[in-house]
Amino acid sequence: MTIEYPAAYWKDYELIDSGRGEKLERFGNYVLRRPEPKALWAPSLPESEWKRQSHVVFRPGAGFGKAGKEDSGTWEKVRKMDDQWGIAYNGAQDPQTHAASDLHIALRLGLTSFKHVGVFPEQAPNWEFIFRETQRLGRICQANGMGAPKVLNLFAYTGAASLAAKAAGADVTHLDSVRQVVTWARENMERSGLDGVRWVVEDALKFAKREAKRGNRYQGIILDPPAYGHGPDGEKWKLDELLFDLLKNVAQILSPRDSFLVLNLYSNGYSAMLGETAVREAFGLRPEAGFTAAPGHDGAFLALESGELALRDAFGKVLPLSIFVRLKR
């Protein structure tokens, strides 16, 4: 299992401090203070410094601590700032070659009633993986006289992962059940100087089942499901009950060769090994298939890894936020 962090030289994001159930973060020119239940330790900076640096503070609402509503609340501005602003992400170094990637995307941020701002910065290592893998598949497609690799992003939110795939030349389908965040993702595409993403507002499980029935295949699939949610027609999503069903359908629509999968999970209580086992079982993979080159059940090259995505504050404290499973073949 590995632990991965955003590149230290990402100039538009910084975790300044964490502790006592909160985190102090800088997004571009603004510093935000918001709840973080996983920050169990004491902060390194005094309260006076947190107050001095903050532009805005998130105040939890009546739903705080309740399943599906735990992030609801309001923002209180304590210094002048815009309601919406932008940041840029410029690529990190490849962990193998140490060469800088060509991934450059621009994201519009905003204060939402669920403490989120439109980006999850710890996801940067996943964006880099998606970018590199899409480039790899693009070279294979080109060598075989095929079109661009098709990448499907489910639960796609405001689209940073979709843009990573698009920037690498993919034919991208971006799906989310909330029309407003799909509109937000479209704005991010335009800010990034990209175009041609296919936008879908639908329930992810329903879409995957339909694609499986139609025999459609994708070379890349990205999954970032929430613990709870609803489809546009009221479909109920509960991670514990439906994740494995979704993975089994995804296994049917991911190309058996020359493809990749990214699964990201935020739900408390989920471990990297749990996610990896779920993927192995859904895809019928041999238990001995690790991240080093190994044969899959059909003899194809297979690589599988799992780990945690985390942020490290300016004082070295590590804040783990999600687990990931990545498959490439």
DSSP per residue, 223-287: E---SEEE-TT--EEEHHHHHHHHHHHHHHHB-SSS-EEEEEE--TT--HHHHHHHHHHHHT--T
Q: Domain boundary at 76, 104, 132, which?
A: 104
Same domain, 137 and 257: yes
Same domain, 93 and 125: no
Residue that the structure tokens 């613990």 belong to: 227
Report if residue 113 sits inside a domain: no
Sequence-ordered list of residues with C-beta below 8 angstroms from that of 6, at least 6 positions apart, any chain? 13, 92, 121, 122, 124, 125, 311
Q: Domain boundary at 41, 76, 104, which?
A: 104
Report if residue 139 sits inside a domain: yes
Same domain, 139 and 273: yes
Identify which of 250, 10, 236, 40 has the alpha carbon closest to the alpha carbon of residue 25. Answer: 10
The confidence score (pLDDT) of residue 221 equals 98
Residue at 179: amino acid letter = R
What is the per-residue pLDDT across 284-303, written as a single tens digit (0 to 9) for each? 997 654 544 445 445 456 89
Same domain, 150 and 18: no
Same domain, 293 and 218: yes
Report if residue 155 sits inside a domain: yes
Pairing between strand 260-265 and 220-223? parallel
Report if residue 114 sits inside a domain: no
Question: Rounded CA gap, 264 and 323, in Å?
Answer: 6
What is the per-residue pLDDT across 25-39, written as a single tens digit (0 to 9) for each? 999 999 999 999 999
Report if residue 261 sits inside a domain: yes
Report if residue 186 sits inside a domain: yes
The confidence score (pLDDT) of residue 222 equals 98
Report if residue 115 sits inside a domain: no
Total tally of structural domains belonging to the chain: 2
Q: Which domain holds residue 323?
A: 121-328
Same domain, 88 and 134: no
Buried b (16+ CB within 10 A) or exposed e, 124-158: bbbbbbbbbbbbbbbeebeeeeeebbbbbbbbbbb
Q: What is the CATH number of the domain that holds 131?
A: 3.40.50.150
Q: What is the pLDDT along the chain (329 residues), one digit of tens a residue?
A: 799 999 888 999 999 999 999 999 999 999 999 999 999 999 999 999 999 999 999 999 865 555 555 568 999 999 999 999 999 998 766 556 666 678 999 999 999 988 999 999 999 999 999 999 999 999 999 999 999 999 999 999 999 999 999 999 999 999 999 999 999 999 999 999 999 999 999 999 999 999 999 999 999 999 999 998 989 988 899 999 999 999 999 999 999 999 999 999 997 789 999 999 999 999 999 765 454 444 544 545 689 999 999 999 999 999 999 999 999 99
CA 216 vs. chain centroid, Å, equals 24
Count, residues in the chain: 329
The confidence score (pLDDT) of residue 292 equals 46
Same domain, 134 and 97: no
Same domain, 131 and 181: yes
Same domain, 93 and 135: no
Q: What is the CATH number of the domain that holds 89?
A: 2.60.40.1180
Same domain, 140 and 12: no
What is the per-residue pLDDT across 121-145, written as a single tens digit (0 to 9) for each? 999 999 999 999 999 999 999 999 9
Question: Rounded CA gap, 174 and 230, in Å?
Answer: 17
Report if residue 109 sits inside a domain: no
CA angle 164/179/23 to nearest 5° reads 60
Same domain, 140 and 66: no
Residue at 197: amino acid letter = V
Same domain, 220 and 273: yes
The confidence score (pLDDT) of residue 293 equals 45
